[in-house]
Amino acid sequence: MDRFTSLQVFSRVAGLGSLAAAARALGMSQTMATKHVSALEDRIGVKLLHRTTRKLTLTEAGRRYLDSVERILGDLEEAEAVAAAERVEVSGTLRINAPVSFGARELAPLLGAFCSDHPNLVIDLGLNDRVVDLVEEGWDMAIRIGRIQDRSLIARKLAPCRLLVAASPDYLRLHGTPRTLEDLGSHVCLGYTLSSALWPDRWGFGRDGDVVVPVRGNLRANNGDALLAAAVAGQGIVYEPTFLLADAIRDGRLTALTLDHPPVEFPGVFAVYVANRRPPAKVRAFIDFLVRRIGTTPPWDRDLGM
């Protein structure tokens, strides 16, 4: 088996959570995709995937291996982009769609440096929390957080996405500090209405979110910054990504909580673009720029102390 193709198949299987979906995205049969994954497992001598009739998940070794695989594939893409940049000028308009909070907090501050490197490029940044159709709405690329389920898209991982449960010191003084998932049932929990993994009335914990606990609260919102502001004001407990919570935890406005089950593991932050055509130089250049600037430890997690 071609080792590079096997790495591509494994990365796509991990991103899509399905051998069949990965095979369709790569234009091969499911049988061939299975052979590629099996060849990798035979070569390195460890099991990379747990396969059941209901779902497919990464083993512990598979998660560690995936990090290395994505770096290898990313380095190759970057090498190709560098070579292409020598003959194709990055110019025109780059239309980027991103979630509101992540786009405003983490993406927008980086755009000045990228534009300085490419003075003939104009960036059109659109921020909203719905899943846009890149083709129908004319976006060159998008930033997505969580599992990428659209098989028509190529996804490149930019950074991990950790979640934490947190509340303000004032809230904890008044209501006590929850120690277990069961304790959450007696607390005010602030719900995010757009997540496909964390629902306003129940939160998932554990690596795959398999441990689900019912929660209740007096505020639901479709924006993470709104819930963050409410939590800082002492209204309740939030369960959100660290890119939203980190600053408030560092300066003491929020306290991160340790419960008897770990937070769910999100697949990460991804740059996505349409799969049926080679991305233009401006898209490749921007994705490579983000990979370099964010790195394996994203800025929002640095010096967080946990």
**pLDDT band at 85; cut points 50, 70, 90:** low
- How far, in whole angstroms, is CA 23 from its chain's centroid? 22
Rounded Cα distance, 81 and 93, in Å: 18
Rounded Cα distance, 52 and 31, in Å: 16
Rounded Cα distance, 190 and 179, in Å: 17
Most confident of 15-19, 180-184, 288-292: 180-184
At 231, the amino acid letter reads A
Domain boundaries, the chain: 3-78, 88-161+266-301, 163-257
| Per-residue pLDDT reduced to its tens digit, 10-67 | 998 888 888 888 888 888 999 999 999 999 999 889 999 987 766 788 899 998 898 8
For helices 242-250 and 224-232, the axis angle rounded to 10 degrees is: 20
Look over the chain and give the mean of its residue pLDDT values, rounded to a whole number.
Answer: 88
In this prediction, residue 1 carries a pLDDT of 60
Helices (H), the chain: 3-16, 19-26, 30-44, 60-85, 100-102, 108-117, 134-137, 169-175, 224-232, 242-250, 281-294
| Per-residue pLDDT reduced to its tens digit, 122-149 | 999 999 988 888 888 889 999 999 888 7
Q: Could you tell me if residue 147 is left (phi over 0), alpha (psi between -120 and 50 degrees) or otherwise beta?
A: beta
Other C-beta atoms within 10 Å of 288: how many?
Answer: 20
Rounded Cα distance, 234 and 253, in Å: 9
Q: Which CATH class is domain 88-161+266-301?
A: alpha beta
Rounded Cα distance, 286 and 115, in Å: 10
| Per-residue pLDDT reduced to its tens digit, 162-175 | 999 999 999 999 99
Rounded Cα distance, 74 and 261, in Å: 33
Given a contact cutoff of 8 angstroms between Cβ atoms, the answer to whether 158 and 251 are in contact is no
- How far, in whole angstroms, is CA 147 from its chain's centroid? 7
- Which CATH architecture is the domain 163-257 placed in? 3-Layer(aba) Sandwich (3.40)
- Which CATH architecture is the domain 3-78 placed in? Orthogonal Bundle (1.10)
Identify the DSSP state of 187: S
The residue-averaged pLDDT of 266-291 equals: 86
Same fold, 88-161+266-301 and 163-257: yes
Q: Across the strands, what pairs with 205?
A: 211, 263
pTM score = 0.69
Q: String of b and e for 241-277 (b: at least 16 CB within 10 Å)?
A: bbbbbbebbeeebbebbebeeebbbbbbbbbbbbbee
292 burial via Cβ count (<10 Å: 0-12, 13-18, 19+): exposed
Q: Would strands 191-192 and 153-161 be described as parallel, antiparallel, or unpaired?
A: unpaired
**Cα separations (Å) of 288 from 73, 122, 205?**
12, 17, 32
Q: Is the pLDDT of residue 199 over 60?
A: yes
Q: String of b and e for 63-101 (b: at least 16 CB within 10 Å)?
A: eebbeebbeebbeebbeebeebeeeeebeeebbbbbbbb
At 74, the amino acid letter reads G
Give the residue from 232, 229, 238 showing the smallest Cα distance to 198. 238
Residue scoring higher pLDDT (257 or 91): 257
Other C-beta atoms within 10 Å of 120: how many?
Answer: 10
